[in-house]
Amino acid sequence: MQVAFIGLGNMGAPMAINLVKAGHSVKAFDLSAEALERVKAEGGQSAASALEAVQGAEVVISMLPASQHVEGLYLGKDGQSGLLAAIARGALIIDSSTIAASTSQKVAKAAAAAGIDFIDAPVSGGTGGAIAGTLTFMVGGSDAQLARAQPLLEKMGANIFHAGAVGAGQTAKICNNMLLGILMVGTSEAIALGVANGLDPKVLSEIMRRSSGGNWALEKYNPFPGVHENAPASKGYAGGFGTNLMLKDLGLAQENAIATQASTPLGGLARSIYAAHSLSGHGAEDFSSVIKMLQKKA
Ligand code: NAD
């Protein structure tokens, strides 16, 4: 299949590479030349612009940071000069970025008017899942649209869920990430407390992993350096899932909670904690670096 892939960051690059490995023809574009090189080195074709990438594409996949990037890409600043005008009628857009459900719905509506299918398909599983091709996809769209996307999603993920109509994938994703943000703060607090009391972080993490506190951070994404060799914490909190991206997701969850008058006290507190962490200069580090806020200084 002829695929255009736009946004080759920590997640997009390994996802695009998995499609190349599965035998698809992938024309990729990112604003960063370095990101483009990574995909080119694995057999992808590099395009000089998003416009060039979508020429002849049957499917366009985007993996961008936030709502404004996705809206800007497809609709353009004035709502008309975006990429939609250059994508072939009958093509399918799979947007895997985590953005506001309302933005997905807005772009989907404009796409439908141009005869293009659009689904939101945000993911979970981290960079490890993106590399291994074991991501969880949360899809918003029709049954027929999901059926079109399925063969490609299967090459990048192990779990594909149909959350509902367009935008529903994003709603599921912000519920999940609100929980993840809270769990990472809680896990960090517990490890910091144990370490302050002289416990070995590896031993304590293993005890909690196999006890009632067990969770994904303790399983594969420990915030304490050296516990999980491949986790960002053991690589100076580089790569992974940026604090600012977690902050964006917790903001989306709070916007939604305000709009629906939902009570999300821990989600709100977690957003404030990551906001303070970002303001102290840790916005570009992986979100598990939030443990630094909670540790005793040497
Ligand atoms: P990233 O910052 O590593 O990558 C984003 C990429 O998009 C960058 O390479 C940037 O140059 C590129 N970009 C921005 N605007 C562009 C444009 N107009 N045209 C082309 N390229 C453009 O981010 P990431 O960690 O890969 O995350 C991407 C999305 O996936 C975010 O919405 C994030 O919330 C979500 N997500 C991330 C993770 C994770 O573990 N990192 C997990 C699940 C979901």
Q: Would you say the CB of residue 29 lies under 6 angstroms from ligand 1?
A: yes
**Closest-CA residue to 59 (of 94, 30, 8, 85):** 94
Tens digit of pLDDT for each residue in 212-270? 999 999 999 999 999 999 999 999 999 999 999 999 999 999 999 999 999 999 999 99
Per-domain residue ranges for the chain? Answer: 2-165, 171-294
Strand pairing partners for 5? 28, 61
Q: So what's the architecture of 171-294 in CATH?
A: Orthogonal Bundle (1.10)
Q: Average pLDDT of the chain?
A: 97
What is the CATH T-level fold of the domain 2-165, as seen in this structure? Rossmann fold (3.40.50)
As given in the structure block, the two tokens for residue 181 are: 């943000």
Question: Strand (E) positions, the chain?
Answer: 2-6, 25-29, 45-46, 59-62, 92-95, 117-120, 123-124, 135-140, 157-164
Q: Mutation test of ligand 1: which of 70, 75, 241 has the most ligand atoms closer than 8 Å to its C-beta?
A: 241
Q: What is the mean pLDDT of residues 41-45?
A: 97
How many residues are present in the chain? 298
Amino acid 215 reads N
Out of 27, 106, 173, 248, pick the active-site residue.
173
Whether the pLDDT of residue 297 is over 90: the answer is no
Tens digit of pLDDT for each residue in 130-160? 999 999 999 999 999 999 999 999 999 999 9
Q: What is the pLDDT of residue 243?
A: 98
Spell out the residues 6+ positions from residue 59 whose beta carbon is closer than 8 angstroms to its own.
Answer: 1, 2, 3, 4, 91, 92, 93, 94, 148, 149, 152
d(CA 142, CA 89): 18
Q: Would you say the CB of residue 286 lies under 6 angstroms from ligand 1?
A: no
| 136: enclosing H helix or E strand | strand 135-140
Q: Would you say the CB of residue 190 lies under 6 angstroms from ligand 1?
A: no
Beta strand 117-120 with 59-62 is: unpaired
Q: Which residue has the higher pLDDT, 296 or 96?
A: 96
Same fold for the pair 2-165 and 171-294: no
Q: Would you say the CB of residue 30 lies under 6 angstroms from ligand 1?
A: yes
- Active-site residue, 173 included: yes
Q: What is the mean pLDDT of residues 196-208?
A: 98
The pLDDT-based confidence of 77 (bands split at 50, 70, 90) is confident
Whether the pLDDT of residue 23 is over 90: the answer is yes
